[in-house]
Structure 1
Amino acid sequence: MLTNMATQTASTRALSDAVVSKITGLVVSDGGSTAINAPFTGEPLATLPLSSAGDVELAYAKAREAQKAWAALPVADRVRPVLKFVDEFIARRDEILDILQWETGKARRHAFEEFLDVTLGPLYYARKAGKLLAPKRRAGAFPIATRTSEHRQPKGVVGMITPWNYPISMGVGDTIPALIAGNGVVHKPDTQTALSVLWCVDLMIECGLPRDLWQVVLGDPAEIGDTLIGNADYIAFTGSTRAGRLIAEKAAPRLIGYSLELGGKNPMIVLEDADLDKAARGAIRACFSNAGQLCISIERLFVHEKVYDAFVEKFATATRAMKLGSSLTFDEQMGSLTYPRQLETVTTHVEQAVEKGATVVAGGKARPDLGPLFYEPTILTDVTTDMDLCAGETFGPVVSVYRFSSEEEAIERANDTSYGLNASVWTKNVARGRRVAARIQAGTVNVNEGYGSAMASHDAPMGGMKQSGVGRRHGSEGLLKYTEVQTIASQQFMELDAPPQIAYAKYADLLTSSLRTMKRFRLK
């Protein structure tokens, strides 16, 4: 059932207009602009400034200048604006949820997942950064005589490129650890969903972040991408595998580091001993959160033949009962797609599969009566390898369901993909589920949950294997990847070269004897 965005209160619309008016001045722009539309209605939402290559260079110059003083601050001082941001972010929850829904078309409960991520992730780094970035003593060349320590220095200015589907989870959640590590940031969010990012940047400045430290540029990658990468000291990117390869190619000649979180064709395995009611409910979240526009959502579902029919019936019944709509309430279970191109891809994949013999168990069609970009949550069976949605990433509310007869077969089929981002295993025997999970080639595997357990475990790394990415977000690596590691070693009491009064051959014999002694007493 549709609650049209046009029927929302005037204050909601006025809030969006007021926010746009305030925050677009944060974009480094020479005067170009573009209009974005609200996915729920197709109507104009905002006009945003666009950046040129020259603007990107100016953004880097400003960020570099601000970064010098920022990096010299103690970690505790760099954390202080983040802690204030978390407080203000929580206090203004409904404001950011409204913006997220307007620009992405997602259901409010899925916008709320972003809210949680951007609360808990920055808070984790604010609490842990002091320890993670502190100098650490390391074993020296010789006990007592050599004092060695490991230090963390910021990269400099990070080029941040973030996607439209989870704009603040990726855009803010990945930028804040880069800032805490002592870097400046030049950030290119997707233009369609830049409002939420700009709102957060503005809030961070209100909370004490230096104005020039976090620069925002907007524009077509073809026009500003080379300049963005060409001036960065490190690149952090979330997006498609195809785009990730291009970024890696451009970064390679400059020998700069990068982290890439890329595509997925994520599997979910329902073992014969699973609680089918819980698994069916879990599949709803796993497959259809944000209308399936989530890199870690499930697109392939493998069900043991003993419970296949019962599970599919429960899953299909729950899917058909899902409430779709565009209200700014928590009532809807799924919202709209964000871009027309996503609707086109979903429609093409489903239609081609049906033409080649796939069976639609639930959904299977667009819903223009709800809005221009709505598509029903869709379950397909009888999907074969000659269909595009079998192996290619659909990135929409579509899942294909397959039978399997043994645990070994399920693992083999789950791993039969060039991707390796996320996976899910369902069983009443958690120990068994964890054993199966350890054999799946994916950066994160959830047992009795689709994706949320791993995603919300901010102390643990998150990222992809195979063609699903390089590097990790979250955990210590999510912060330390934005640093250069430096070793400082000082020598005292003895020189490493032979003393002038001792022949080198004698010196070599003494060192050799010392090695035997250090090994014997476990000093080395």
Structure 2
Amino acid sequence: MTTAARQATEPAPLPSALVERLLDHAVAGDAPPVAIFAPATGAKIADLPQSSTADIDRAFATAREAQREWAERSVGERTAVLRDLHDIVLTEQRAILDIVQIETGKSRAHAFDEVGDVAVNARYYASIAHRLLADRAARGVLPVLTKVEVRHRPKGVVAVISPWNYPLALAVSDALPALVAGNAVISRPDNQTALTALWAIDAAVRAGLPRGLWQAVLGRGSVIGGEVIGRADYVDYTGSSATGRTIAQQAGARLIGCSLELGGKNPLLVLADADVSRAARIAIRACFASAGQLCESMERVYVHDSVYDRFVAEFVDHVRAIELGADLDYSADMGSLTFPRQLDTVRAHVDDAVAKGATVLAGGRARPDLGPYFYEPTVLADVRPDMTVHREETFGPVVSIYRVGSDEEAIAAANDTAYGLNASVWTKDARRGREVAARINAGSVNVNEGFIAAWGSADAPSGGLGISGTGRRHGPEGLLKYTDTQTIAVQRVLPIAPLPGMSEELWAKTMTAYFTVMKTLRLK
């Protein structure tokens, strides 16, 4: 069991003036409000207004008008907003950390990961947008005579449908590249964490973003999600694989693009030559960040037989030392689950595994003495394929640990899943680590790290394979997906057609000779 824990104290309510200011950025109010509560304590946070169909229509109309003017602004003007937002997020981090913690129940250290994510992405896209969005010359079909230019045009109004587990990072870091590309954004944050998204919009307006360019509509996805998708020009969604399939169908029916980051059942491989102590220590964050409510976190750990006993002993010691709590400071290592449904899933997975013969090495208990949805970080051994936890995503603080006899066995086990989001490989040999990583079916693989090395490298794309999603965030792709390319070709002097008096047959022979010469000269 976890030995270090303490009662979560009820935080002071958010100032009513702050809540009122934030709600001013939501296009909502015609539908009955919904009360939201702090997961760690059960205290009421606010009555959240909900958006009606008329509210959504109004939001999109305002966004389209604002987008036309925004798209005419220079890239330099747009990136200036991102640079100022970067500074606001860092200098006002205490306020947003409080909101994130109160709404999610996570620890402050894990909430800070979101502040860092927004700062990194704001700085990255502010620095790279000029190059990515610049018009570029392309080779024409006839050198000199055909002048070709490729331009990037904004999609229009982008819908960002963001989840509750990382409400700042996933609401903001997807919106920023869309905005800098010249789009407007309509956000549909989860009700539970709507104030976090609204704080970000408020900060962006204070950083110089035109009011109305980034708005939020509020409501359950099952109620207003289809209404938002039905009006958008592009959809960016983070959430479950099941809902992702529905959104893909809705977007496909309208022939608009979508980017989907979905679930994961991520593997961590400890090879025979790994630095066991380091792996055991850092795997804690890889497995239990935000109480395991992270698509990128590790739920399956495969350890080579030669280091299994030592790794498990050290890993379990670290797990048992995790301090639970959700006070608005850095005193706790891990916070609460966010919803009763998450607690129910965690309990069901652990209870099913134990009933079928799994061994609990650490944790395995809910902690209502600390708060409504606290659950101890849990390590299971002797997990078999017939147990629910073996294959289904838990999305909570539960890790299954397995003994393997070789790299081949570890790779095969890691790939035995329909998911393919993230993975982790531990070895002292970087070359060996890269070779093993390349054979794992995942959109990102971290060698000697859990998830932050790949996720935090904003210049590299992030996304999933299999039922973990499609499309990418971060990197150039994370911005260019919000644009349509337009090719403008200007033909000069001679047409691309037979000259007057030239037969089609002679034209064909002439072009055949031309194509042959171009290949010989290695010209495109």
TM-score of Structure 1 vs Structure 2, range by shorter chain: over 0.9
- State the match for 1:4 in structure 2: 8
Answer whether contact 2:13 2:45 (CA < 8 A) is retained: no
Query: Aligned residue for 1:18?
Result: 17
| Aligned equivalents of 2:373, 2:233: Cα separation in 1 | 38
Question: 1:294 matched to which residue of 2?
Answer: 294
**SS in structure 2 opposite 1:5?**
coil
Residue 145 (structure 1) shift: 1.0
**Which secondary structure does the structure 1 equivalent of 2:263 belong to?**
coil
Residue aligning to 2:504? 504
Between the aligned partners of 1:269 and 1:112, the Cα distance in structure 2 is 27
What are the residue-to-residue correspondences of 1:290-329 with 2, within 5 Å?
A: 290-329=290-329
Superimposed CA distance per residue, residues 115-139 of structure 1 (whole angstroms, 9 cap, x where no aligned partner):
0001011110011001001011111
Matched letter for residue 437 of structure 1: A
Relative to structure 2, which stretch is displaced further, 89-98 or 468-477?
A: 89-98
Q: Give deviations 1:21-78, integer Å, cap 9, x for gaps.
A: 2111211113321110001101111111100122112111110111011111111111
Query: What SS does structure 2 have at the residue aligned with 1:508?
Result: helix
Under a length normalisation based on structure 1, what TM-score does the superposition of the two structures give?
0.97
Residue 447 of structure 1 corresponds to 447
Report SS of the residue matched to 1:247: helix
For 1:460 and 1:222, the matched residues in 2 are separated by 33
Match of 1:382 in 2: 382
Shift of 1:335: 0.5
Q: Which residue of 2 aligns with 1:353?
A: 353
C-alpha separation in 2, matches of 1:5 and 1:137 = 61
1:4, 1:401 → 2: CA distance?
Answer: 30
Per-residue displacement from partner, 1:496-517 (whole Å, max 9, x unpaired)? 0111122222222222222222
* Structure 1 residue 16: Cα displacement: 4.2
The TM-score normalised by the length of structure 2 is: 0.97
Contact kept? 1:143, 1:523, Cα under 8 Å: no
C-alpha distance in structure 2 between counterparts of 1:169 and 1:196, whole Å: 10
Q: Compute the displacement of 1:252 (Å).
A: 1.3
2:341 corresponds to: 341
In 1, the alpha carbon distance for the partners of 2:122 and 2:142 equals 40
Query: Which residue identity is paired with 1:171?
Result: A
Counterpart Cα distance in 1 of 2:16 and 2:313: 45
What residue identity is the alignment partner of 1:22? Answer: R
What's the secondary structure of 2:168's corresponding residue?
Answer: helix
Match of 1:90 in 2: 90
Partner of 1:269: 269
After the TM superposition, which parts of structure 1 deviate over 3 Å for at least 4 consecutive aligned residues? Answer: 14-18
Contact 1:2 1:327 survives alignment (8 Å): no
**1:370-519 map, 5 Å:** 370-519=370-519
Q: 2: distance between equivalents of 1:523 and 1:225? A: 50
What is the CA distance between 1:14 and its match in structure 2? 5.7
| Further displaced range: 514-523 or 131-140 | 514-523
Superposition RMSD on alpha carbons, in Å? 1.1
Paired residues of 1:38 and 1:103 also in contact (CA < 8 A) = yes
* In 2: Cα distance, 1:388 partner to 1:99 partner: 34
CA distance 1:16–1:350, shift in 2 (3 Å): farther
Write the letter of the residue equivalent to 2:9. M
* CA distance in structure 2 between the aligned counterparts of 1:3 and 1:330, rounded to whole angstroms: 15
For the 8 Å contact 1:35–1:48, the answer to whether it is kept is yes
Work out the CA distance in 2 between the residues paired with 1:136 and 1:424. Answer: 38
CA contact (8 A) 1:461 1:477 kept: yes
Structure 2: gaps (5+ residues): none
Q: In percent, how many aligned pairs have the same letter?
A: 53
Asked whether the 8 Å contact 2:7–2:371 carries over to 1, the reply is no
1:229 aligns with 2:233: no
1:39 aligns with 2:39: yes
| Contact 1:52–1:223 (8 Å) recurs in 2 | no
CA distance in structure 1 between the aligned counterparts of 2:158 and 2:501, rounded to whole angstroms: 52
| SS state at 1:175 partner | helix
Aligned-residue offset at 1:5: 3.0
After superposing the two structures, state which structure 1 stretch, 498-507 or 234-243, moved more: 498-507
**What count of residue pairs does the alignment treat as equivalent?**
519
